[in-house]
Structure 1
């Protein structure tokens, strides 16, 4: 089917035109359109990830089916609409899974893997009363950014957000939330696991287990600690 698309602001500049016309297969979706534009115009890909589509003058989800004759527009963030909240954070406040999810969702991704690490009550037969987390926050954020760069190199087009809580956490509290958005679901599983394993390897965060009869600072639990080791092959 033949479709015509209106382009605005930064997208129009990156594409070099106020309109785009092309052929898409029957059953194509908004996500397919974004992927096509990103493939044809790599310089627009970053902006496309934070943009939305309007179909017949209504904001549309990535799985919206397109039909020949639809009035379609691609809309970058409007003035004042850009979310400047950082994707990688250390927080003393309870974590919001929805907030982390919103940082990575975009029309180019068809899958979002959301990992939530929570405080469990029993560890190797010991009853946990609570946990206490401490972090070297500036470096922790920098290492999270490094992990995201490693993921992008291995799974191009992936969007990552991470936040880890510090301070005193009670049983069932969320300690870490990681969101990984990819074009396809297989990569979201692989990149999501890579993200949490690398976080445990190189991000300077420490956990004190407070048990009913003792306490202990817990470090790296995946073999000898070596933060200089390159990312593991998956």
Structure 2
């Protein structure tokens, strides 16, 4: 069985490709078996592969998920959004692009972000509180100077995961609205990489929902950042212990 597997971030960079054709000699393997076979096939990346998750049809796949040749498969290394497929062309200097969910409240773009535009997506007549979180590129981390960041996304899945965060917020805090805008490509020092806006009838729900959205974004949304320094670079992944995007907060 021939499988096409999309790759991202450090794994794609080390293999020099964003897509591999992988021959699997067992019909309909599980996600766990496929990931282990990939680790054996690419021993130089085994540790990275084993800490990654498989996505099947743009959803994180439990270990026992049965995979078929028709599935859309991606290997998702630990994510880092907030602190792409065809969009990689635009990251390399092509014209700007923007993709969003049908309701427009969740978007990924190569263009500079507008705090006001994202916040306006959650302002309503019946909500008396709105809170906006803005993430920017920090220049100094200890003694290390960042020149700029480069963001990459698995765009369709990232949008779906953003919308899922909004749904989770609506369930936990009924009536709260959420909007998220994330930039990909090069983001210079002091420029905005992410805007998260929430609104609610009362301010206490805004604070709780905003923090929840930020933490979930960094846990589940397939966006990666590469720190570019004066003397090197590094892909940054989840840094809060073992990464499990399927674990609920």
Give the shorter-chain TM-score range.
Answer: 0.5 to 0.7
Q: Compute the displacement of 1:166 (Å).
A: 0.2
226, 229, 232: which one pairs with 2:244? Answer: 226
SS at match of 1:104: coil
Instruction: Determine the C-alpha separation between the residues in 2 that align with 1:152 and 1:85.
Output: 15
Matched, 1:159 2:177: yes
Aligned to 2:228: 210
Q: Secondary structure at the match of 2:121?
A: helix
Which structure is larger by alpha-carbon Rg, 1 or 2? 1
**Count of residues in Structure 1 that have an aligned counterpart in Structure 2:** 148
CA distance in structure 1 between the partners assigned to 2:137 and 2:104 by the alignment? 25
Q: Structure 1 residue 85: deviation in Å?
A: 5.9
Which of the residues 203, 206, 209 maps onto 1:185?
Answer: 203
Partner of 1:109: 127
Q: Which runs of 4+ in 1 moved over 6 A?
A: none
Is residue 167 of structure 2 the alignment partner of residue 149 of structure 1?
A: yes
Structure 2: how far apart are the matches of 1:158 and 1:124?
37
**Hey, what's the Cα distance between the residues in 1 that align with 2:238 and 2:247?**
13
- Residue of structure 2 in register with 1:197 after alignment: 215
**Secondary structure in 2 aligned to 1:139?**
helix
TM-score by length of 2: 0.58
Which structure has more RCO (C-alpha within 8 Å, separation ≥ 6)? Answer: 2
RMSD of aligned residue pairs (Cα, Å): 1.0
1:130-181 per-residue CA deviation (whole Å, 9 max, x = no partner) reads 1000000100000001000110011000011001000001100000000000
Using the alignment, how far apart are the partners of 2:246 and 2:207 within structure 1? 25
Distance 1:127 1:159 in 2: 37
Contiguous gaps of at least 5 residues in structure 1? 1-83
Q: Could you state the TM-score of these two structures normalised by the residue count of structure 1?
A: 0.62
